[in-house]
Structure formats: structure tokens, C-alpha cells
Amino acid sequence: MPIFAELEIYRNATPRSAAMNMAIDEALLETEMVPSIRFYQWKSPALSFGYFGKFADVANYLAERNLVRRWTGGGTVFHGEDLTYSIVIPTSDPLLGESSMSIYKEIHCALCDALAEMGQHAVVAAIGDRGSLTSAMETGVTDPGYNSHCFAHPVRADVMIAGRKVAGAAQRRTRGGLLHQGSIQYVDPGNGLAEWFAKKLSNNCEPRNLPNAVHYRAEEIAARKYASEAWLRKR
């Protein structure tokens, strides 16, 4: 069953910097009155790492990727070829009364249903599932950062296909609602995955353009926070 009574969809083909992508998510969390999902692209290869992560652990990628510290938690995620999305749930939505893990699982169950429509058999990971490490070795993944990459370490309720983690997310709750930032990898997004995902989340989807006020607010947030060296090297 869809988990939202209504859902606004923001899908802009304009690639943005890592700082602006993070800032738009935060600006939407400040302003959204109904649940929304935003699919976005990156202006250049990027790497995001969790709020509690250490800059020293990702510093080696500084010369080749646009680095950004997320407001949400979680590990290191490489961006550029993934389908990246964020979901904002305002305090007025009944779903926010559930635990963060329950929301995480319900969103990923909807994603599994969307992948099924594309002929992919995806499942929600059980506790302690480490299948992706074996899968990585079998498929010859050679990225030197793979073992520290959060997609090498599935946790409960991540999305798995054939033993490999293909989707994970991180969340942050505030007095304004909940921000869920997710990445879908190793899956072809060109077969309408974003549309199927939105439909599985709600039967009442409404495409929207990003309001100018949100864009301007995001520019302020990006300059003050996500694009600053103080934020990047916070820990």
C-alpha cells in the first residue's frame, strides 16, 4: 500500500553542485507542507559523507570529486552515476509518528516494488546482511575506496539485489519534519525507475517546479554551511 496520501515530485534535470543539492534538501525540509520527493543530479562527480564522518577519511578524494558533508548521518557515498533522491516528511503527516527505522523500511519496500515493475527482484536486507562484500569480490569491484564505501556495508532495511546492496539512505529529524536522503546504485535508472518509485509511494503524485523562494533559501544555506571549509572539515 502507498505510504503517503499525496506526494509532490521535484525532478529537475539541471545538475547542481554538491553543496546546492544538500542545501535544497534542507530548504525543502523548512518549507514543505506535504510529503515530497526530489530526484537530482550532480554537476560533477561527487562524494557525500555523513554528519558524524571524519574529513580525514575522505580527504584523498578531494582532487577528483566534489566533497560535501551531509546533514544526515551514514557513511560515504559516491555520486554521479547513481539515482539520488530525497524525501521530506512534514510534521503534519501521520507517517512521522512511526519510528525512523519503520519509515526507512517502508520507503525501501516501495522502492523494491518499483524495481519489481522493472523486472528486478529486490529485497529489504535483514539484520547483519553482508552479502554485498562477497558480490563485490565476485564482480571484480576495484575501487580502492570500496571497503569504506557505505554500499559495501548493508544494514537493516537497505535494498539488496542478488546479495549486493543497491540502495541505502540516511535520515535526520527536526521540529519541522524528517529528511530522508537516498542513493540508488548499480541499477539502470533509465527505465522509468523514478516514476515507478513515486507511484509506489503515493497514488496521488503531483509534479512541481522548485519554488524560487526555496532556491534562494538554498543559496543562503549553501554559502553559510555546505560550501564552507568549516562545515566540510567539521570533524
User: Residue 150: CB partners within 8 Å, gap ≥ 6?
Assistant: 74, 75, 76, 77, 168
φ/ψ of 168, rounded to 5, equals -140, 175
Cβ burial, residue 184 (10 Å; 0-12/13-18/19+): buried
User: Residue 68: CB partners within 8 Å, gap ≥ 6?
Assistant: 18, 19, 21, 22, 46, 47, 48, 49, 226, 232
Give bridge partners of residue 124 from the DSSP assignment: 159
Return the axis-axis angle of helices 193-201 and 100-117, rounded to nearest 10°: 130
Alpha carbon distance 86, 229 (integer Å): 24
Alpha helices in the chain (DSSP H): 18-31, 100-117, 131-139, 193-201, 212-221, 229-232
Task: Please name which of 19, 43, 59, 45 lies closest in space to residue 148, comparing C-alpha atoms.
Answer: 59
Tell me if residue 205 is catalytic: no
Q: What is the distance in angstroms between the CA of the first residue and the CA of the last residue of the chain?
A: 41
* Active site residue ranges: 150
